[in-house]
């Protein structure tokens, strides 16, 4: 059994980021042409594109503010012109900010998380889903977080944005499923990515002691889940919030 995404076009928001870059390479390895989105880190996006092209794949770097409909629509046009219509959308971009308590967190931080978790997914859906409906096939995969189930101190802005994102995507799954389009979410734990790999911070004993598998996962674990949900193997899976965190959070029935 093999994951085959040949003749598919994927767009990964935050494709230059820690998890996004590995997701892009993995989708390309499965045969998809990939649009690597970035907002500020063009050099890393170009590096990811070069990696994909070097191994025989097709990819472009695309810049956009993913909270603005006009920017996303322009990006869609660039992707269609260079690669074709995208039928796989992975929303991995998020605005970074300094975490603190509810009493100290600025209102601007809550607004930023609403824009990058909710509006981001709304404008991407509005831009790309009509093409999926026309093609009668599509995949939307949102990158959520285990934090959405933990609600730990200092996480309020992030958690509020991600839990609202969950509501948008579950509703979308019901609205567009009849067109052969699945909508799912992946919820990573505190993964080991380029930021931590090979550094003293790679091991986090306190965190690892709470994970049933007693270790941190890797960026590739998230990318593997994305590739599966994007593939024909997952054609009857929709509306899922899938933790990729070694069992650190477990959705209840």
* Cα separation, 53 vs 50, whole angstroms: 5
> In the structure, what pLDDT confidence band is assigned to residue 30 with cuts at 50, 70 and 90?
very high
Q: 59 pLDDT exceeds 90?
A: yes
Contact present, 169 and 129 (Cβ < 8 Å)? no
Hey, what domains does the chain have and what are their CATH numbers? 9-244 (3.40.50.720)
User: Given this model, what pLDDT does residue 50 score?
Assistant: 98
> In the structure, what pLDDT confidence band is assigned to residue 201 with cuts at 50, 70 and 90?
confident
* Residues that are catalytic: 158
Note the pLDDT tens digit of each residue in 62-86.
999 999 999 999 999 999 999 999 9
Note the pLDDT tens digit of each residue in 86-145.
999 999 999 999 999 999 999 999 999 999 999 999 999 999 999 999 999 999 999 999
Note the pLDDT tens digit of each residue in 43-58.
999 999 999 999 999 9
DSSP symbol at 250: -
User: Given this model, what pLDDT does residue 200 score?
Assistant: 84
The mean pLDDT of the chain is 97
User: Given this model, what pLDDT does residue 87 score?
Assistant: 98
Contact present, 66 and 18 (Cβ < 8 Å)? no
Question: Which conformational region is residue 154 in: left (phi greater than 0), alpha (psi within -120 to 50 degrees), or beta?
Answer: left
Q: 222 pLDDT exceeds 90?
A: yes
> In the structure, what pLDDT confidence band is assigned to residue 1 with cuts at 50, 70 and 90?
confident
pTM, full prediction: 0.96
């Amino acid at each position: 059994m093999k994951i085959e995404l040949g003749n598919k076009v994927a767009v990964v928001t935050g494709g230059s980021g820690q998890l996004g870059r590995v997701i892009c390479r993995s989708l390309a390895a499965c045969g998809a042409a990939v649009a690597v989105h970035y907002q500020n880190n063009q050099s890393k996006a170009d590096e990811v594109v070069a990696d994909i092209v070097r191994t025989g794949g097709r990819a472009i770097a695309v810049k956009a503010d993913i909270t603005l409909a006009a920017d996303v629509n322009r990006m869609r046009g660039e992707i269609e012109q260079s690669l074709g219509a995208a039928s796989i959308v992975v929303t991995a971009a998020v605005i970074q900010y300094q975490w603190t308590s509810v009493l100290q967190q600025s209102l601007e931080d809550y607004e930023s998380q609403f824009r990058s978790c909710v509006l981001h997914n709304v404008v991407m859906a509005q831009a790309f889903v009509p093409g999926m409906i026309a093609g009668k096939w599509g995949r939307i995969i949102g990158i959520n977080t285990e934090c959405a189930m933990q609600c730990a101190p200092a996480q309020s802005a992030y958690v509020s944005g991600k839990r609202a994102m969950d509501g948008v995507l579950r509703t979308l799954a019901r609205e567009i499923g009849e067109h052969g389009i699945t909508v799912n979410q992946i919820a990573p734990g505190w993964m080991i990515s380029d930021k931590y790999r090979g550094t003293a911070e790679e091991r986090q004993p306190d965190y690892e002691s709470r994970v049933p598998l007693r270790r941190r996962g890797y960026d590739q674990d998230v990318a593997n889940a994305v590739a599966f949900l994007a593939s024909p193997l997952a054609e009857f899976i929709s509306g899922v919030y899938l933790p990729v965190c070694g069992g650190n959070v477990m959705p209840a029935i």
